[in-house]
Structure 1
């Protein structure tokens, strides 16, 4: 059993009842071997199908950390925990074959992984290392609203890259929280004005997601851009 002292993840941030954990994805053969022991048969087969050692490392370290975190959160042994995917691909947890009353989401980029866990409610997290993108102009054109594009295009160099990844992670966290993935028109999910102007947290509604208020929170650091999105509920 992995203990807190030698784990490769740690609690990064708490947002009410939501816990966000950081996963260290730097190469480490000992950790990767230990993480592999947490995987079930289907997950080990999936690990084998990844084409690169980098993809294998990110998968095994994030999945094992997720298993350990959920086992502690739910209070179950690892052998009782399994995963299935909803209609649009978002995974959910099962304990002894029954859906668990816990919500989670996982993201990774470069050497950083984030896992967000909540007692209930839809939840999304996204992390991105701020590496230059060759197709940055095409990405800006494809996923941002006219006002967002105008604001990004008014910047250049590091400022534009920093703002791009901030906007990108906020949108991705919301899309992942909603759970319908590519079926959503991401450009129409405009980031609230106050967040585009620098506020770290905002609550709002979106025309594509009627009847639900969402809280968006920028949790980025100097090392990476990151955001969390979750349904507004008095219990969170």
Structure 2
């Protein structure tokens, strides 16, 4: 781990007030998959080398942290990240800084670097990436945050995307579904009971958004992949195999975090670099 910002005693005192500790839980299907809560400034982070080929690590974290944590995270950010914070204020700024700081801490663990030295940047689509290599990335990663929750995904050799949303009623759910969901997805949503519709809507949304983040498509690409409604509402231990409009293959699954949130991860089914994967496959 990079240099500790807080003393071990102070870090543990903060963590006792903030949240409980979770054990790492393996959930194997077609790819090894681990999900764990991350506690900033605590010595329970992954050891370098833990992230093996084809392994998926998902971390979730609380972003409403004490001011001392925000100050420490701010010192880790690069010029571009700090410039973005200047356009924010209040809790939105604090949560953005926390999410970026936690991302840097986790990348620092995996890359065996100090968090502030991790070369984070963005590609042409705005997707976060490492900027210090002209070849294949040393690690693929994705982050998402909603209100006080952050979600972070890592894989050494597969493109990855994650998304998290708070489950809540929204008045224009049908209009959004009409614009961004496929016909079968809208049917699954329409047939769901009224009490289940918000949860199904946001589970479909996060699975599609995770794919969109993995590809860099954004909202414009939401109809480019179709999630079977029964898979979105089903067993969170299962991967769903999907093919997008370019006939590229993806593995998607819901992710369990805190109650009241929907979350998902998408990874490329083909581990080759994106530029080596053909846009179409033979029948």
Structure 2 residue aligned with 1:43: 81
Which of the two has greater strand per residue? 1
- Give the whole-Å Cα distance in 2 for the aligned partners of 1:98 and 1:78: 22
Structure 2 residue aligned with 1:220: 256
Contact 1:22 1:115 in 2 (8 A): yes
Residues 167-216 of structure 1 deviation map (CA, whole Å, 9 limit, x = unaligned): 111111111112222442x1342103651462432342424132x32111
Describe how 1:95-174 pairs up with structure 2 within 5 A: 95=132, 100-174=137-211
Structure 1 residue aligned with 2:125: 88
Structure 1 residue aligned with 2:234: 198
Q: Which stretches in structure 2 are left out of the alignment for 5+ residues?
A: 27-32, 34-53, 273-283
Q: Which runs of 4+ in 1 moved over 4 A?
A: 2-14, 95-100
TM-score by length of 2: 0.72
Residues 56-112 of structure 1 deviation map (CA, whole Å, 9 limit, x = unaligned): 012100000011110110112334322222222212013489874111000011111
Contact 2:203 2:233 in 1 (8 A): no
- Give the whole-Å Cα distance in 1 for the aligned partners of 2:84 and 2:135: 22
CA-atom RMSD in angstroms: 2.9
Q: Is the partner of 1:208 in helix, strand or coil?
A: coil
Shift in alpha-carbon separation, 1:153–1:189, aligned structure 2, 3 A:
same
Q: Is the partner of 1:39 in helix, strand or coil?
A: coil
Q: Within the alignment, does 1:25 sit opposite 2:66 as a pair?
A: no
Q: Which stretches in structure 1 are left out of the alignment for 5+ residues?
A: none
Contact 2:189 2:229 in 1 (8 A): no
- Give the whole-Å Cα distance in 2 for the aligned partners of 1:234 and 1:45: 35
Contact 1:80 1:95 in 2 (8 A): no
- Give the whole-Å Cα distance in 2 for the aligned partners of 1:71 and 1:95: 14
Q: Give the drift of 1:22.
A: 1.0
Contact 2:188 2:229 in 1 (8 A): no
TM-score by length of 1: 0.85
Shift in alpha-carbon separation, 1:192–1:28, aligned structure 2, 3 A:
same
Q: How many residues align?
A: 232
Contact 1:13 1:21 in 2 (8 A): no
Structure 2 residue aligned with 1:177: 214
Contact 1:17 1:118 in 2 (8 A): yes
Contact 2:189 2:197 in 1 (8 A): yes
Q: Give the drift of 1:114.
A: 0.3
Residues 99-155 of structure 1 deviation map (CA, whole Å, 9 limit, x = unaligned): 741110000111110010111221000101112223222112111111111121123
